[in-house]
Amino acid sequence: MSEQFYNILIVGVGGQGVLLASEIISQVAMNAGMDVKKSEIHGMSQRGGVVTSHVRIGKKVYSPTIQQGEVDFLMGFEKAEALRFVGWMKKTGTVVVSHTTLVPAIVTSSKEFHYPEDAIADLKNKAHNVIDVEADKIAGELGNPRLVNTILIGVLANLLPFEEKLWVDVIKSLVKEKFVAVNLQAFARGREFIWGGGSPPPRRN
Amino acid sequence: MKQLLSGNEAVARGAYEAGVKMAVGYPGTPSTEILETMAERHRSVYSQWSPNEKVAFEVGIGASIGGARTLVTMKHVGLNVAADPLMTFAYTGVNGGFVFVSADDPEMHSSQNEQDNRIFARFANIPFLEPADSQESKDMLVAAYEISERFDTPVMLRMTTRISHTMGIVEVIEPLQPQERKFVKNPEKYVMIPSNAKVRHVVVAQRLIDLAKYSEQTPFNYIESNGSKVGIISGGVAYQYAKEVAPQFDYYKIGFGYPLPLEGIRQFVAAHDITLVVEELEPVYEDQIKAAGVKVEGKKYFGALGELSPSRVAKGLKEAGLIDKVVVPEITQEDLFPRPPVLCPGCPHRGAFMALKKLGVAVTGDIGCYTLGVLKPLNALDTCICMGASIGNAIGMEKVQGSATGTVAVIGDSTFFHSGITGLLDAVYNQSNVTVIILDNRATAMTGGQEHPGTGKTLMGEPVGRTDIQELVRALGVKNFEEVDAYDFDATLSCVKRQMATPGPSVILTSRPCVLMPKRIMDEPYQIDLELCNGCSACFRISCPAIAASTETNERGHAKAIIDETLCTGCTLCAQICPTEAILLKSQFAKA
Ligand code: SF4
Ligand code: SF4
Ligand code: SF4
């Protein structure tokens, strides 16, 4: 495991929980004995702008940010945002994306800009491994649209070599107490997610 | 014990471990979390927000002279505000160790410029340390207190956004018990009348010589030998990028950045065929090394604008002929619509901007959430320079253009307390006809809702009396004062018109708090009756994130509007401007 290096780029829109998700992943990696760096850009972006977080896991991590073209896992909490950052991926990388659609005011109020017709299809045209999850729908079933991030973490957990218990413990410690139960449910839903069509992406462990 | 900490959290932890007694600052991205962490996790340290960085710095100086180890935090542009006390405090020196953090923002993720404050340390003749990760942020802060006390100088810890907002693994230890220092009267040292200052300037010059010697032997400046003929001199996050792409070279890692260990560097450069300086923003190291007659290159390959990245460093190294491969992304990037940050649904600033836009007047802006009003489709601001500048800008504009054209300054409550008060004083004194709208949302909202003198609470959560803006404004000599509900579009519009027509300076105070802080405000949401909506798009132009295009169109093919009820706060603004009255409360739909 120590030879492995994981570059994870998490993208979404302000308010979707990008930062919490990346913190959970980083904490799990640290508890598993890996070196980890997590770098985020917020500030003005907390007002509905794009939020990105780089998580780098390995034996020894130098740069806090990933080089463009070196992302192993792209986690998209919003499908157009995943598409925006697909150019950061390695060709062999995996995209885990929610069907969530958030159309900003700048698109609705002008003719200049368009939201992509079918962002998921565009992603599949560009990247080899795309796991698309109706996380927005599942989150709705669980009664809280904010659970998209934890559901996707559950999916990602299938692709990383860390034990279940590490994930569960970290979620318990980082999520506000009254939301722990439902977040664990969301995580479990992500864990059991089966991707339809084609072969599953290669497991890294 | 190991903890995963951001650079800012690590600084706070370092202050705690170093036995700091007082931590003070003004919020500003990317520095804000340092003091927030102090107040949250290290409550044995007295921590406070001050109204601005100059005051924070002055409070910190008092604490240091009083004998306590002191931390002052700010973002890079905050140091411009605090430059006045800094330049002279560099002369007096400290009693208790004094370290201030300058959190610079290369790439301007959330700032109006990207100045490199390492130059400021040189300007002030004081040392600075430049950490490259969270562990160093903590270690260097602790060491900075020893340097401060040993060399009798304020010390700058220079962070950047990437260091402040990157989490890394940090080994934490128990706090030290620094030796108690008492206040001792010493006017020759602390009262900078010219005769004393002349003596102190000589002390400062000698101190720099001593610090230069220290720089040669501090463990924060060290060589990493890999037997390479290529040498890299680097510090801060730039060092991490260089290590990432070229771990095989030899490194002179700079942590103590001023004065530079020029003797060590001279030897390092002599021992290599070629040496490059890799640093972010200005050629601060490069220029000094070159000025010392040592042959290095740097900016020529890496550029002086914006953040560095592993890719940029790799490209530069390739251009210099030192590596032959750089990563080329295999997947082409997608050209997508932009997603700029916007005012929240129900933001109280929206109403004021809608009114100003309708009036078509010149609007001088300031620093805060409301700066977002400049973006499409609101397009409601004409200037934004620095904290507190809007009122001064408006005075100048009104003096040359005449009051008939109309100039309105908008400023937030926290910004008004920061440095708007003096601008308003100028307007009174010089009889300007400006209209100042204080957008009072009762929080420093831009940075996440910090407390300030108008909120009735301190950083540590103590309840206090709040400064009454109306009384303050009247005491400054403003005769025309009006408070208005910015959710009431017509009232706001007529209020601005009225106050612009009255001679002399006038102040309008808006009364609605930020919808996010201190707790999220949600009233009954509005919905749109698609039968009534004619797709006029008026509601799109107020830039509320809750309003989107529906799939239905009008006869001319324009989209009708729909409201996301989970986002709508029920502020009523869109309903007030809809010409067909298609926007109704959700409960009105149930009945219909
Ligand atoms: S945080 Fe508050 S003040 Fe800032 S945009 Fe949102 S509602 Fe407006
Ligand atoms: S303002 Fe009214 S009529 Fe015009 S698009 Fe909006 S809802 Fe429809
Ligand atoms: S009432 Fe209208 S403007 Fe106000 S939050 Fe709801 S949709 Fe936005």
Whether B424 contacts B397, CB under 8 Å: no
Contacts of B561 (CB under 8 A, 6+ apart): A108, B528, B533, B535, B537, B539, B540, B547, B548, B549, B550, B582
Asked whether B235 and B242 are in contact (CB, 8 A), the reply is no
B334: amino acid identity, one letter: E
Check residue B402 and give its pLDDT.
75
The number of CA neighbours under 13 Å toward the Cβ of B86 is 27
User: Is A104 within 8 Å of B334 when comparing Cβ atoms?
Assistant: no
Cα gap B236→B447, rounded to integer Å:
24
From ligand 2's centre to the CA of B114, what distance in Å?
A: 41
Structural tokens at position B169: 């693994």
Give the model's pLDDT for residue A174.
96
Q: Give CA–CA dist B130/B409, Å, rounded.
A: 38
In chain A, what is the straight-line distance between the N-terminal and C-terminal CA atoms, in Å? 8
CB B341 within 8 A of CB A46: yes
Inter-chain residue contact A88 with B329, CB threshold 8 Å: yes
CA distance B488 to B210: 64
Put simply, whether the predicted model's pTM sits higher than 0.80 gets the answer yes
| Subunit contact A87:B334, Cβ cutoff 8 A | yes
pLDDT value at position B116?
98
B275 lines ligand 3 (CB under 6 A): no
Residues of B numbered 212-251 whose beta carbons fall under 8 angstroms of chain A's beta carbons: which are they? 237, 240-241, 243-245, 247
Question: Do B556 and B536 contact (CB within 8 A), yes or no?
Answer: no
pLDDT at position A197: 41
Distance of CA B586 from the midpoint of ligand 3 (Å):
12
Please tell me whether the peptide bond between B341 and the residue prior to it is cis, using omega within 30 degrees of 0.
no
Q: What gap in Å lies between CA B383 and CA A64, rounded to an integer? A: 35
pLDDT at B340: 86
Q: Are B503 and B434 in contact (CB under 8 A)?
A: no
Which pLDDT score, from 0 to 100, does residue B592 have?
A: 57
Cα distance from N-terminal residue to C-terminal residue, chain B: 63
The whole-number pLDDT of residue A199 equals 45
Asked if B377's CB is within 8 angstroms of A109's CB, the reply is: yes
Residue type, B319: E
Q: Whose CA is nearest to atom 6 of ligand 1?
A: B344
Among the listed residues B542, B32, B52, the one whose alpha carbon sits nearest the alpha carbon of residue A46: B32
Token pair, residue B488, equals: 């009431």
The verdict on a CB contact (< 8 Å) between B341 and A14 is yes
| Cα-based distances in Å from B363 to A99, B340, B390, B506 | 41, 21, 9, 15
Distance of CA A36 to the CA centre of its chain: 16
Token pair of A87, please? 């150019």
Query: How many angstroms separate the alpha carbon of residue B581 from the centre of ligand 2?
Result: 8
Interatomic CA distance for residues B62 and B64, integer angstroms:
5
Q: For the beta carbon of residue B16, count every other beta carbon within 10 angstroms.
A: 25
Taking the CA of residue B175 as centre, how many other CA atoms within 13 Å lie in the half-sphere pointing to its CB?
17
CB B364 within 8 A of CB B383: yes
Residue type, B186: N
Tokens at A203, concatenated: 């497991």
Extended strands (E) in B230-381 = 230-235, 250-254, 256-258, 274-278, 362-364
The two structure tokens encoding residue A22:
């990346």
Residue of B nearest to A125 (CA): B331
Among partner residues A90, A105, A145, which is closest to B342 by beta-carbon distance?
Answer: A105
> Which of chain B's residues have a Cβ under 8 Å away from the Cβ of A90?
330
Which residue from A81, A87, A108 is facing B548, i.e. has the nearest CB? A108
Q: Cβ of B304: how many Cβ atoms within 10 Å?
A: 14
Q: How far apart are CA B402 and CA B434, in angstroms?
A: 10
Q: What is the dihedral of CA B62, B64, B70, B74, to 10 degrees?
A: 50
| pLDDT for the residue numbered B232 | 98
Task: Give the per-residue pLDDT at B404.
Answer: 67
Q: Which helix (H) or strand (E) holds B74?
A: strand B70-75
pLDDT of the residue at A198:
39
Residue with tokens 């404050």: B117
Cα-based distances in Å from B213 to B140, B204, B206:
18, 14, 11
- Does the Cβ of B343 fall within 6 Å of ligand 3? no
B571 lines ligand 3 (CB under 6 A): yes
The alpha carbon dihedral of B408, B414, B417, B418 has a sign of negative
Alpha helices in B178-260 (DSSP H): 187-190, 194-217, 236-245
Q: Determine which residue's CA is closest to atom 2 belonging to ligand 1.
A: B514
> In 3D, which of A63, A62, A72 has the Cα closest to residue A9?
A72
Residues 6+ apart with CB under 8 A from B517: B442, B443, B445, B448, B449
> Tokens for A154?
């559950």
Q: What are the pLDDT tens digits along chain B (592 aa)?
A: 999 999 999 999 999 999 999 999 999 999 999 999 999 999 999 999 999 999 999 999 999 999 999 999 999 999 999 999 999 999 999 999 999 999 999 999 989 999 999 999 999 999 999 999 999 999 999 999 999 999 999 999 999 999 999 999 999 999 988 888 999 999 999 999 999 999 999 999 999 999 999 999 999 999 999 999 999 999 999 999 999 999 999 999 999 999 999 999 999 999 999 999 999 999 999 999 999 999 999 999 999 999 999 999 999 999 999 999 999 999 998 889 998 888 999 999 999 999 999 999 999 999 999 999 998 888 999 999 999 999 999 999 999 887 666 789 999 999 999 999 999 999 999 999 999 999 999 999 999 999 999 999 999 999 999 999 999 999 999 999 999 999 999 999 999 999 999 999 999 999 999 999 888 899 999 999 999 999 999 999 999 989 988 889 999 988 899 999 988 999 999 999 999 999 999 999 866 5
**Residue A106: pLDDT band by 50, 70, 90 thresholds?**
confident
Does A96 have pLDDT greater than 70?
Answer: yes
Give DSSP secondary structure letters for B225-238: --S-SEEEEEEHHH
Contact between A11 and A46 under an 8 Å Cβ cutoff? The reply is no
Q: DSSP assignment of B550-568, as one string?
A: EEEE-TTSPEEEEE-TTT-
Degrees (nearest 5) of the Cα angle B19, B22, B28?
115
Q: How confident is the model at residue A205 (pLDDT cuts 50, 70, 90)?
A: very low
Cα B121-B127-B128 angle, rounded to 5 deg:
75
Q: Which residues of B touch A66 (CB under 8 A)?
A: 310
For residues A99 and A97, give the distance between their C-alpha atoms in angstroms, rounded to a whole number.
7
The single-letter DSSP state of residue A201 is P
Q: Would you state the pLDDT for residue B576?
A: 98
Give the C-alpha separation, B57 to B192, whole Å.
Answer: 17
Best residue for ligand 2 mutational test, from B527, B530, B533, B574 (most atoms within 8 Å of Cβ)? B533
Number of H helices, E strands in chain B: 23, 22
| Residues of chain B neighbouring A116 (CB-CB closer than 8 A) | 334, 336
Contact A91 B331 (CB under 8 A): yes
With contacts defined as CB-CB under 8 Å, which chain A residues touch B2?
A: 30
Q: In whole angstroms, give the CA distance from residue A110 to residue A105.
A: 8
φ/ψ region of A76 (left if φ > 0, alpha if ψ in -120 to 50, else beta) reads beta
- CA separation for the pair B171, B134 (Å, rounded): 10
Which amino acid is residue B9, in one-letter code? E
pLDDT band at A195 (very low <50, low <70, confident <90, very high): low
| Closest by CA position to B428, among listed B483, B476, B482 | B476
Q: Provide the pLDDT confidence category of residue A200 given band limits of 50, 70 and 90.
A: low
Task: Look up residue B477 and give its two tokens.
Answer: 């000599």
- Specify the amino acid at residue B485: D
For ligand 2, atom 1: residue with the closest CA = B578
**Do residues B111 and B77 touch, judged by C-beta distance below 8 A?**
yes
Give a three-class secondary structure readout of chain A: CCCCCEEEEEEEECCCCHHHHHHHHHHHHHHCCCEEEEEEECCHHHCCCEEEEEEEEECCCCCCCCCCCCEEEEEECCHHHHHHCHHHEEEEEEEEEECCCCCCHHHHCCCCCCCCCCHHHHHHHHCCEEEEECHHHHHHHCCCHHHHHHHHHHHHHCCCCCCHHHHHHHHHHHCCHHHHHHHHHHHHHHHCCCCCCCCCCCCCC
Do B341 and A48 make contact, defined as CB atoms within 8 angstroms? Answer: yes
Residue A40 CB neighbours (<10 A): 23
